[in-house]
Amino acid sequence: MSDAPSHPTLDDALRPLAMRLRAARRVVALTGAGVSAESGLRTFRGGDDTLLPPDMRALWAEFDPTTLATPEAFEADPERVSRWYDWRRLGCLAAEPNPGHLALARLERELATRGGTCTILTQNVDRLHQRAGSVDVVELHGTILVWRCTRTGQRVTPEPTPMPAFPAPSPFAPGALLRPDVVWFGEMLPEDALARAAEVSTECDVFLSLGTSAMVYPAAGFVRLAASHGAFTGEINLDATPASGGVDVSVRAKTGQAMPRLVELAFGAG
Ligand code: OAD
């Protein structure tokens, strides 16, 4: 016997969540920019990074979202907004899924072999979940890899090279432009994504909130919706968030470290 104080380890913190996952049939994971941070993609908020050079800070610490991520910003300066989104698009294409994405894909497979499901509600526009092998992915904020015509809404997947012109003319309607197929501040989320997210949140046994600052609605509201319908709720995030106090288990960790361990605790080594 030792008198040394015992420090809760990551495993200790994850075990109650792992137990719930093992028994669950329907799991929902809401993911945010923190899940892609270990792929080298910058988050929008979070962390005390004032000592970092601007190009390593959270995006909204270096850039003003009102001049880049609104329909009004695009109307006022389509060249600047298109350039910025194209720069981010190329960053997403160059990034690789990290162990957090891969663990979520494994979680979906493990649950499927037991007749269960794992639906990812992602706020990320990078498509790294799909590239990691997740199939049931709901893109709440669209994707930056696809652009659409400002007049007809027709979609196109640009080449994996910089756009030839800024702003990019639409090939579908003379005089119209292409814009990224993402949701900007002040815009509605895609109706089908919103409906599916509400449905799976109401029906799930376990709801995980992963790498999201839980500040942007309606996405941030799904964890409470799930809890109010009886789901066990867990959060894994580097920092405390407005969701932390309301979930059953809140773990301070990187998702790239915690998610593989969580799935291993629940289902054994892969
Ligand atoms: P945020 O950038 O707001 O939050 C990312 C969260 O992840 C922060 O709480 C970080 O502390 C945390 N974090 C960072 N690295 C992590 C890691 N390795 N593991 C776990 N957590 C980590 O991103 P979102 O919540 O996704 O919308 O932001 C929501 C929306 O706000 C985005 O979709 C975007 C943004 O403005 C639009 O552009 C419309």
Ligand 1 closest atom vs CA 43: 2
* Cβ of 31 less than 6 Å from ligand 1: no
How far does residue 51's CA lie from ligand 1's centre (Å)? 19
Centroid of ligand 1 to alpha carbon of 146 (angstroms): 21
Ligand 1: atom nearest CA of 183 is: 39
Q: Is 129 a catalytic residue?
A: no
255: tokens are 């998702």
54-63, 137-146, 209-218: range with lowest mean pLDDT:
54-63
Give the residue among 20, 99, 25 at the shortest CA–CA distance from 266: 20
Point out the least confidently predicted range of 49-53, 146-150, 258-262. Answer: 49-53
Q: Kindly give the number of the ligand 1 atom that is closest to the alpha carbon of 69.
A: 38
Tens digits of residue pLDDT in 227-256: 999 999 999 999 999 999 999 999 999 999
Does residue 45 line the site of ligand 1, with CB under 6 A?
yes
The whole-number pLDDT of residue 51 equals 72
Mean pLDDT of 180-197: 98
Atom of ligand 1 nearest to the CA of 185: 39
Measured by CA distance, the residue closest to atom 31 of ligand 1 is 216
User: Has residue 7 got a pLDDT over 90?
Assistant: no
Q: Of 101, 129, 141, 229, which one is the catalytic site residue? A: 141
Nearest CA to ligand 1 atom 32: 123
φ/ψ of 170, rounded to 5, equals -75, 135
User: What is the arithmetic mean of pLDDT over 115-142?
Assistant: 98
Q: Is 211 in the pocket of ligand 1 (CB under 6 A)?
A: yes
- pLDDT, residue 246, reads 97
88 lines ligand 1 (CB under 6 A): no
Task: State the distance from the centre of ligand 1 to the C-alpha of 176, rounded, in angstroms.
Answer: 32
Mutate to test the pocket of ligand 1, among 140, 143, 237 (most ligand atoms within 8 A of CB): 237
Q: Pick the residue whose CA is nearest to atom 25 on ligand 1.
A: 212
Interval 215-229: pLDDT, tens:
999 999 999 999 999
pLDDT exceeds cutoff 60 at 103: yes
State the pLDDT confidence band at 3, using cuts at 50, 70 and 90.
low
For 252-257, the CB contacts below 8 A with 24+ separation are 253/10, 253/13, 254/34, 254/37, 254/38, 254/100, 255/34, 255/35, 255/38, 255/100, 255/210, 255/211, 256/37, 256/38, 256/98, 256/99, 256/100, 257/10, 257/99
Q: What is the predicted pLDDT for the residue at 8?
A: 77
pLDDT recorded at residue 4:
60
Helices 255-267, 99-113: inter-axial angle, 10-degree rounding: 20
Q: What is the mean pLDDT of residues 116-141?
A: 98
* pLDDT tens for each residue of 37-90: 999 999 999 766 777 777 788 999 889 999 999 999 999 999 999 999 999 999
